[in-house]
Structure 1
């Protein structure tokens, strides 16, 4: 991921892990607040308010870079940036709805399969080849997803399609992000994520406008703060760490979601969900690691 920070000012790898853990913790808090607000207000409305704050933060951050706002907003692939900016808010609306309908822990267990879907989509969309090792990992991971989706009462719950669709949508977002990263910096992509996403939701969100209760203004403000700061810390993490270092840590979000789901929202963890989550996480970590090994081999670099 391209960075606009000079080498002398780059944080150490230790700071990169700290940034990653901070991002995961904040993402988890954000998910809990989203579930709370999404159960009271339309998810599109909640996402729109959050994105307004996100867009302001993205513009302010872009203006503070040494390149400046004009250069940061310059993109070589505008239509792909617009597509990214629309995909992510749509995915977020689905996720907030899923937290309410399916549950925080169960939703995160299914969303953990995103790296597997990225590997699958990278073949037709990026022209990448997937070897037998990754195919085996993908198969094991998808088997884990089926375990998670296995109905407890013998009938498939249609609500499970929400987190499943959100995982696929986010995988597509990751693929498009990889495409634009060939020409645009990380800060440019961050700028368009916020601005385009806010614009897209502003076309729909006002139709779902709902007055906030006085006690919920604080929760909405906290959601806006966490929504911006989590992405910021993740960007800082990727300045010094690659995906193979960051991805395993992001699965801590599933653990935190399970803890919050059980303790705060009285959710129940089933044996199938726990076993399936273990398979999905293991397969996801292996898939990301194997992608790095293959990429380094193609670049003529040693595996480590």
Structure 2
């Protein structure tokens, strides 16, 4: 179906707006406090949807544990680590570069953990995607290595590992789970792991300004409900390496958004990187992993 073929594009477009939302709310709230409110609102939204349609809930302690762990990895540690690292001085370009290693690591782990083969064509696509994303990020990478603190760097590396393992875990354990109720449980897990850290490290600041409310509503309903539902569907239907390669389209789309909304420059090198990233993702997503 044509609509199903467009779902990866919809996912990338929606997911990329997360960086715009984060920029909108950054001056008016603390990162983990904002994420905690986002998770709680998302849980409420998914529960309301599940009740309205009569969706089945996970059955048994193991199913709940699997969903909770996926949420801790995909949401709690991944988003929390990135937000915390950037808030504590890690340049956004460096954070994006580290997270950009995720598709490579996912491809490496796909066979030993899932039995998915990654052939030469897919490896070529992933390599091109990473190279293209690197070119897009190049203007933001001009930093002195000595200025990068160890703590934030460790946090973003943990985030990259978390989304990699979370994607694989979701593929292994969420194949038959209802996406709506499974997502509700996942965001409960994310809230559980975020709450104590937010209480210990932050003051709970959340200014009552329109930027926070718009950012919270969009992050919860557009990103956490919309984009995460699409991500879970794509993981279920395709190879994890192909799905992970989609994240290489995020830096180009974010760069375009930043150009249109914030007047940031968009040079020839970045445009070339965009084209390379698009070509790489197209190659990586063309065939099932088993066919290479």
TM-score using structure 1 length: 0.69
Q: Supply the distance in 2 between the matched residues of 1:186 and 1:126 (Cα, whole angstroms).
A: 20
Q: Supply the distance in 1 between the matched residues of 2:91 and 2:203 (Cα, whole angstroms).
A: 24
SS at match of 2:285: helix
Of 194, 215, 218 in structure 2, the residue corresponding to residue 223 of structure 1 is: 215
Judge conservation of contact 1:103–1:261 (CA < 8 Å) in 2. no
Q: Which residue of 2 aligns with 1:288?
A: 285
Q: Which residue of 1 aligns with 2:59?
A: 74
Q: Which residue of 2 aligns with 1:14?
A: 3
Q: Which residue of 2 aligns with 1:84?
A: 70
Q: Which residue of 1 aligns with 2:142?
A: 152
Q: Which residue of 1 aligns with 2:198?
A: 205
Q: Supply the distance in 1 between the matched residues of 2:9 and 2:118 (Cα, whole angstroms).
A: 30
Seen in structure 2, the aligned counterparts of structure 1 residues 134 and 124 have a Cα distance that, compared at 3 Å, is same
Seen in structure 2, the aligned counterparts of structure 1 residues 89 and 233 have a Cα distance that, compared at 3 Å, is same
Please state how far the C-alpha of 1:63 moved relative to its aligned partner. 1.5
Q: Supply the distance in 1 between the matched residues of 2:146 and 2:260 (Cα, whole angstroms).
A: 26
Seen in structure 2, the aligned counterparts of structure 1 residues 253 and 224 have a Cα distance that, compared at 3 Å, is same
Seen in structure 2, the aligned counterparts of structure 1 residues 13 and 209 have a Cα distance that, compared at 3 Å, is farther
Judge conservation of contact 1:89–1:201 (CA < 8 Å) in 2. yes
Q: Supply the distance in 2 between the matched residues of 1:46 and 1:204 (Cα, whole angstroms).
A: 12
Judge conservation of contact 1:54–1:224 (CA < 8 Å) in 2. no
Of 60, 72, 93 in structure 1, the residue corresponding to residue 80 of structure 2 is: 93
Q: Which residue of 2 aligns with 1:3?
A: none
Please state how far the C-alpha of 1:178 moved relative to its aligned partner. 0.1
Q: Supply the distance in 2 between the matched residues of 1:262 and 1:109 (Cα, whole angstroms).
A: 20
Question: 5+ unaligned residues in a row in structure 2: which ranges?
Answer: none
Of 171, 175, 180 in structure 2, the residue corresponding to residue 187 of structure 1 is: 180
Q: Supply the distance in 2 between the matched residues of 1:225 and 1:46 (Cα, whole angstroms).
A: 11
Q: Which residue of 2 aligns with 1:38?
A: 26
Judge conservation of contact 2:124–2:283 (CA < 8 Å) in 1. no
Of 40, 45, 49 in structure 2, the residue corresponding to residue 61 of structure 1 is: 49
1:88-147 Cα offsets, whole Å, 9 max, x none, are 222112333466556667755664554333222212322333333334444444555666
Across the aligned residues of Structure 1 and Structure 2, the Cα RMSD in angstroms comes to 4.1
Question: 5+ unaligned residues in a row in structure 1: which ranges?
Answer: 1-11, 298-302
Q: Supply the distance in 1 between the matched residues of 2:184 and 2:142 (Cα, whole angstroms).
A: 43
Q: Which residue of 1 aligns with 2:162?
A: 169
SS at match of 1:212: coil
In the alignment of these two chains, the number of paired residues is 278
Q: Supply the distance in 2 between the matched residues of 1:263 and 1:163 (Cα, whole angstroms).
A: 28
